[in-house]
Structure 1
Amino acid sequence: MSVTVKASCTVRPMEATWCGRIALSELDQTGTVGHQALVYFYSLPQNCLSQYNTIASTLKDSLSRALVPFYPIAGRLYWINNGRLELDCNATGVQFIEAESSSTVQHLSHFSSSSEYHYLVPTVDYYSLPIHELPLFAVQLTKFKCGGICVGITFSHAIMDGSSAFHFIRQWAKFARGGPLHTVPFLDRKILRAGEPPLVPLTKCHVLAKLNDPPLLLGRTDDREEKEKKTTITFLKISKTQIETLQKRANESSPKPINDGGYSRYESVTGHIWRCASKARKHKENQPTELTVTVDLRGRMKPPLPNGYFGNAIWDSVACCLAGDLVSEPLGYTASRIREAIERVSDEYVRSGIEFLKNQKNLRRFHQDLHEEGREKEPFPGNPNLSVVSWFRLPINGINFGWGKEVRMSPATHGFDGDFVLLPDPDENGSVLVYIRLQLLHIDAFKKHFYQDIQGYKSNL
């Protein structure tokens, strides 16, 4: 795909904002600390096709306005010591790029084009520039030959998780339509920082997600060979009826009594994907495998976090079992392991983990994607493991900047082998989209298991 950059500028807050350095929470500085990317495709109404310059101006002006209440986004990160980061709220601004492409919205908004999405978001160069010179938020407005546009977004995960990112994006769109500030961001990160003195005793619970080295394939002493294998991304769609089939199957085969009305679509679909991936990868029966689930903490803390908390309020919890059990036991067994991992994440569990992280001399080993000096790390270990993020409860769809809602939205460059995202399908009520990256040699078998196993068929793959 050909994309030509036509202009680039810096967008700063429209008004003076507070300036100064603030410490990040321990949760901001672990896991993914680099940039994450999204794309939104729009087919413009007929009366907007000749107003591209007005569209660009509207986006920049409303972005400048949004950076006033969300002023940390206009700042910069600094390494301070021992793998820790600090946020300098200095109103330096965010990047805004204007580009053109000979492609069409109809082609690129189709799921199969996801491999080309990285052309539609700004590049954040961790290799050439120090981290304090990199914008925390960047936008690329791409105009297509058909008259449609794409708004590509990349944001620093060190300062916001998905919930905070979509809070900002929706407010930016609301300002673009001339609306008011809806939910004031809560910017005090001390609420999730470690206490002085510690609020809870340190326990071993935190090691499950933060220190536990993922299992390797049997017979291997490292994961280098797996990291070097080519991966690809695929989108799969699962209908409401298919989801109900999986939920019924999970509930009827649960090894223990189920609370809260049975297993959720998240637990059932995720369990199904875990089983299918293990089959597609042809794991041996005694192969250990882990599934990392990302849990939103906002309603789990005591008291719950304030409405509009802006930062990272997520925790990774790990479900693990042998591949033989995963495949031979019914879906209810897998769903129960996932529920156990989620229920483990209590207020005390999280605060104990935060205290543990605070007492580490160096946080570098807890960065999933960046070295302290700024270089990107090798891909995270994949096979035999998986990692899931759910966007079911995030307001990802219906982002209207003034010319109607998007044709399609998607992650742009998300993931490593075994990484997948669950998205609600905006086109059909109750259906789900699965965005997953797997090794190329496993993808066809995974697709076959994914659909055949829902119907109860046995695959010979």
Structure 2
Amino acid sequence: MTLKSAELPDCNLYPNQPIIVEPNAPTPKHTLYLTNLDDQKFLRFSIKYLYLYQKSVTVSSDTLKRALSRVLVDYYPLAGRLRAADDQKLEVDCNAQGALFVEAFMDITADDFLQFSLKPNRSWRKLLYRVDALTFLDVPPLIVQVTNLRCGGMIVCTAINHCICDGIGTSQFLHAWAHHTAKENLDLPIAPLHSRHVLKPRNPPQMTLPHPQFTKHVPSPKDPSSHVDIFNFLQSQPLRPASFIFSPAHLLRLKRQCVPSLKCTTFEALASHTWRSWIRSLDLSPSLTVKLLFSVNVRKKLIPEIPQGYYGNGFVLGCALSTVKDLVSANLHHGVKSVQIAKSALDDGYVRSMIDLLEDKTLKTDLSMSLVISQWAKLGLEDLDFGKGKPLHMGPLASDVYCLFLPVIGDVNAVRVLVSVPESVLEKFEYYMNECLDYKEENNGDHNGNGNGNGNGYGIHRENNNG
């Protein structure tokens, strides 16, 4: 029967599931140092990917398990276990304990799933085995579930611990797994480098620059900023996913809002548009200072550059700042300039200062007035081919208040924006995001909509670590 709604039926686990897949050859047994960029509390969750494959390109679970066992020899930290070291710091016990692998069946077809694939819902969590664990540290760093479908297709879901690697690392691992599935006896094109001492803090630490991404600040009753907290607002609201596909033509229109006075990249234009639309929909006081936090790969920004294959978190959060009034009362120019200023600051000295600053384990990423954007659109995630063809769909397992820029299957130059917002502002947010898709060239797409509201409190929340 055809799926009538976005709600997925239950998964039926196969007998004797889950199983542990161990590396198929001896691996180094040691404790792996995690850098200050790796073990931030902000990253203590698993990155969860979902891939949908049609019948003609599926491979057997036995083949996937055999290849996984092989690739875990090279990516052996993912077969280890996280543990707490001194001073609230994490490390990896590289003990070859193995990854969790689950095989299941769901009575739907690939076409059924595609009907509702743009907006994840909570029922998708059935597609990834949930470990009954007391703490984040008790969850294996790598979990895989292969769900076979009635049509012969399959859904592959993975959960990869963010403390061990970033988006580039997850893509590198997944492509290595696919490589060993399709070409079992060929060496990997990129060998992972697990030593992380290139990003150790200096002794003594040298915090030479401001880092507004982080805070130790606890607002007092006399502090005006204590009355507005996007984090707390979002935690208290029912959230609904919003999804938008921006074609190359749409992205060009956005960029044209800034020329000729300001040239910008696609990311800068789309990030600024999303930030501006999000802030406008929340109806905040014009005088408030708001932030955009966005991931930036710094592998080539350090001196010397981080070696190819470095397998750890090689990104930092850039932080653009603006008052609400400046961000929403003009076109994209102000937001783009703010993003460019934040990006230009991220040189070797800035990153080293941030690493040193994070020796202070009481610091927190400042989410109180921030939108967080993570760039998945240029990682090659949509090209994951286990030897018989690429996926019909690739995306996250869930949508939350972290905004994702996602690839669009079949159009390498398009971008899908996915973020969850409160039901009460969803319609406004969709209107502002869609403005640039419908506007006429001669009016520059500038609908001011100043959003001078009453300063209600708003806030940020992220999904449970165990998915």
Contact 2:282-2:425 within 8 A present in 1 as well: yes
Cα distance in 1 for partners of 2:312, 2:327 equals 35
What does 1:395-414 align with in structure 2 at a 5 Å threshold? 395-414=380-399
1:268 aligns with 2:269: yes
1:114 aligns with 2:120: yes
Contact 1:35-1:124 within 8 A present in 2 as well: no
More displaced 10-residue stretch of structure 1: 220-229 or 333-342: 220-229
Q: Secondary structure at the match of 1:450?
A: helix
Compute the displacement of 1:197 (Å): 5.0
1:446 aligns with 2:429: yes
Q: Secondary structure at the match of 2:73?
A: coil
Q: 1:35 maps to which residue? A: 46
* 1:332-373 deviations in Å (ceiling 9; x for gaps): 111000111111111111111112223x2xx2554x6xxxxx
Cα distance in 1 for partners of 2:156, 2:104 equals 10
Matched length: 425
What code does the residue aligned with 2:27 have?
Answer: T
Contact 1:240-1:429 within 8 A present in 2 as well: no
Given candidates 190, 194, 212, the residue that maps to 2:197 is: 190
Contact 2:55-2:151 within 8 A present in 1 as well: no
Cα distance in 2 for partners of 1:119, 1:425 equals 24
Cα distance in 1 for partners of 2:181, 2:362 equals 39
Q: Which runs of 4+ in 1 moved over 4 A?
A: 212-219
Cα distance in 2 for partners of 1:225, 1:308 equals 40
Cα distance in 2 for partners of 1:190, 1:89 equals 17
Contact 2:145-2:156 within 8 A present in 1 as well: yes
1:319–1:118 Cα change, 3 Å: same
1:445–1:459 Cα change, 3 Å: farther
Cα distance in 1 for partners of 2:289, 2:203 equals 39
Q: Secondary structure at the match of 1:26?
A: coil
1:133–1:275 Cα change, 3 Å: closer
Q: 1:373 maps to which residue? A: none
1:430 aligns with 2:399: no
Q: 2:24 maps to which residue? A: 14
* 1:373-418 deviations in Å (ceiling 9; x for gaps): xxxxxxx946x531111123312121111231100100113532xx
Given candidates 66, 76, 82, the residue that maps to 2:87 is: 82
Q: Secondary structure at the match of 2:419?
A: strand
Cα distance in 2 for partners of 1:17, 1:219 equals 51
Given candidates 369, 372, 381, the residue that maps to 1:387 is: 372
Q: 2:454 maps to which residue? A: none
Cα distance in 1 for partners of 2:320, 2:331 equals 16
1:249 aligns with 2:257: yes
Segments of structure 2 that go 5 or more residues without pairing to the other structure are 1-7, 440-444, 452-467
Cα distance in 2 for partners of 1:217, 1:251 equals 37
Contact 1:397-1:409 within 8 A present in 2 as well: yes
Cα distance in 1 for partners of 2:48, 2:11 equals 17
Q: 1:211 maps to which residue? A: 215
1:234 aligns with 2:245: no
Q: 2:36 maps to which residue? A: 26
Contact 2:214-2:363 within 8 A present in 1 as well: no
What does 1:356-375 align with in structure 2 at a 5 Å threshold? 356-358=357-359, 360=360, 363=361, 365-366=363-364
Compute the displacement of 1:193 (Å): 1.1
Compute the displacement of 1:274 (Å): 1.2
Cα distance in 1 for partners of 2:44, 2:50 equals 20
Q: How high is the TM-score relative to the length of structure 2?
A: 0.85
Q: 1:296 maps to which residue? A: 297
Cα distance in 1 for partners of 2:332, 2:208 equals 32
Contact 1:107-1:113 within 8 A present in 2 as well: no
Q: Secondary structure at the match of 2:259?
A: helix
